[in-house]
Chain A
């Protein structure tokens, strides 16, 4: 069982940072919606407030790691230009997708949207974390601010979802491969 360095980093980017961020979004949305609504009857404990603050910071770190690894590690491998006369495009995902009318839109819509929309996630969640750290339980006294923060978290979830969906589909049709092989397990002879 082997995996290439590029495949491993793509996994860390998508399944590690990206998928974990998507999972974390649901927790943040539920907590902000349920506990910080203006009519919330249960008092918010200091420990609960501190927990959500840390949770949002971790989400912001995950979102930044996802976009930065995507833009500065995976994307350069994706958009690599093959030398003239190259017939095997398997090491050049963008060119491989663009070479066929049945796959070109995965690049021209999928990647073109993903590479930009993904950045809305870290911007939105960093803002949400900063607002929460500053206002904490007082968000219940500013329902408009809390509702707007909640909308931004929703949009960051949507943006990360769009990026994640297209990332998965792009990797299905034109996987980022190459680099050194890492042997995970030695197989037995059949």
Chain B
């Protein structure tokens, strides 16, 4: 049996959504760090502060995107090369963009 017998779309959807979700953690955190208004908007639970909103929003974006991509791709064969490369670049970027000295460059 070849790879074509097993649609990879569901896996590709999960992969890309996870890459984007990870980047969202970093982007929301940077936005909260740079904008006082956004920071106060992100306080969903006061004892935890803006971290509560930053992570909740990133998780919601991740899950929503995962559901949308999964619905579109689940029974399809997707070209995995570009999808996995994009997902890994996004993951690498999220690792870098959560590092405070890099955040301070913005």
A and B: bona fide binding partners: yes
**Chain A residues engaging chain B, CB cutoff 8 angstroms:** 67, 71-72, 75-76, 79, 108-109, 112-113, 115-117, 119-120, 123-124, 126-127, 130-131, 134-135, 138, 141-142, 144-145, 147-149, 151-152, 155, 158-159
CA distance A72 to B58 in the complex (A): 16
Q: Give the CA-CA distance A152 to B22 in the complex, in Å.
A: 11
Closest 7 CB pairs of A and B: A76-B47, A127-B18, A148-B84, A144-B80, A116-B98, A138-B6, A141-B3
Residues of A within 8 A of B84 (CB): 144-145, 147-148
A contact residues around B92 at 8 Å (CB):
155
Which residues on A sit within 8 Å (CB–CB) of B103?
112
Over the window 78-106 of chain B, the binary record of Cβ atoms lying under 8 Å from chain A Cβ atoms (1 yes, 0 no) is 00110010011001101100111101000
Contacting pair B55 A71 (CB below 8 A): yes
Contacts A116-B26, A151-B88; A135 near B95 (Cβ below 8 A): no
Query: How many A-B residue contacts, CB cutoff 8 Å?
Result: 112
Pairwise interchain contact A142-B80, C-beta atoms closer than 8 A = yes
Q: Is B36 in the interface zone, CB < 8 Å from A?
A: no
| Chain B residues proximal to chain A, CB less than 8 Å | 1-3, 5-6, 8, 10-12, 14-15, 17-18, 21-22, 25-26, 29, 45, 47-49, 51-52, 54-55, 58-59, 62, 80-81, 84, 87-88, 91-92, 94-95, 98-101, 103
Are B81's CB and A71's CB within 8 A? no
Question: In the complex, what's the smallest C-beta–C-beta distance from B45 to chain A, in angstroms?
Answer: 7
Answer whether A127 and B17 are a contact pair too, CB < 8 Å, given A72-B45, A119-B25, A148-B88: yes
Which residues in B have their C-beta under 8 angstroms from that of A109?
Answer: 100-101
A124 touches B91 (CB 8 A): yes
Whether B3 lies near A113 (C-beta < 8 A) is no
- Residues in B whose Cβ lies below 8 Å from that of A79: 47, 49
Among candidates B11, B22, B29, B91, residue contacting A142 with C-beta atoms closer than 8 Å = B11
Contact B94–A120 (Cβ < 8 Å): yes
19 intermolecular pairs with C-beta atoms under 8 Å apart: A72-B47, A79-B47, A79-B49, A115-B51, A116-B54, A117-B95, A119-B59, A120-B95, A123-B18, A124-B22, A134-B10, A141-B5, A142-B80, A144-B80, A145-B8, A145-B12, A145-B80, A148-B87, A148-B88
